[in-house]
Amino acid sequence: MAKDRSNDNADSKMGRKEYEKELRKVQVELCRLQDWVKHEGKRIVVVFEGRDGAGKGGIIKAITERVSPRVFRVVALPAPSDREKSQMYMQRYLERFPAAGEIVIFDRSWYNRAGVEHVMDFCGKEEYRRFLQLCPEIETYIVTSGIILIKFWLEVSNEEQERRFKARIDDPLRQWKLSPIDLPSRIRWYDYSRARDKMLEATDTKVSPWHIVRSDDKKRARLNCISHLLGLIPYKAISKKKLKLPMRSKKGAYDDESTLKGRRFVAEKF
């Protein structure tokens, strides 16, 4: 049985050396998953939701930093334009779904309607109710069409969210992470908790379940999430021909370094 780390303190957080060792292992498996998806023409959608400051960006970066962006595609949509507001709600998300051989990762998704849009009154009560009613039906259609749909909810504690927000406020390298929506989410903590509960109640289905990741320890959260993701997909290692680096041809050889003399090189300050 997995250990419940919900009450662990900062002293128990995973060290950098152990983290990097384990991260390499799961990233190797992600490369094997990538080969399988391309070979089999599979279509996969991975949804990341969670509270502000829960670490979605860090997990997505850990997933994508060693694989091809032509296979793993990240979608993080801005606020809808006036034209998009007039469309069917799911339309702008469906337009970005994968073709054969692609994995699309949604950094927030259509579940905005069940979270921030509902809590901040960006949508009407009837729009919210209809979303929760129809979402399981739409996701059933997505899955039965042959797409592998995986949904992750990142759960961060009240204390850890507060710590991360304060760190962002004080660090100029992190301030860009704070949106106009983030800070009000501290005031509305329990509103977001109730919205989460209603969302899970309505959309945590057998066909399209939610997988909840505790994310107070970012390193463990990344490893646990990636490992779980890999376990949800029945991929196999694809045999490949062993690569061999060819010799450089000397045909047409010339002094191709001398021709760069006098060109504008970047100053080597480091």
Distance of CA 71 to CAs 34, 42, 87, 99, Å? 7, 10, 28, 10
Topology (CATH level 3) of domain 13-238: Rossmann fold (3.40.50)
pLDDT for res 9: 47
Query: Whole-prediction pTM value?
Result: 0.89
Angstrom distance (rounded) from CA 147 to CA 100: 10
pLDDT for res 1: 44
pLDDT for res 11: 52
Angstrom distance (rounded) from CA 185 to CA 158: 11
DSSP state of 160: H
> Which residue numbers in the chain have pLDDT < 70?
1-11
Angstrom distance (rounded) from CA 168 to CA 170: 5
Residue range 62-112, pLDDT digits in tens: 999 999 999 999 999 998 999 999 999 999 999 999 999 999 999 999 999
What are the residues whose beta carbons fall under 8 Å from the beta carbon of 110, sequence distance 6 or more?
89, 90, 93, 131, 135
The residue among 215, 115, 119 whose CA lies nearest residue 164 is 215
What is the rounded average pLDDT for all residues in the chain? Answer: 93
Local structure of 212: helix, strand or coil: strand
pLDDT for res 88: 95
Local structure of 121: helix, strand or coil: coil
pLDDT for res 174: 80
Tokens of 63: 């997933």
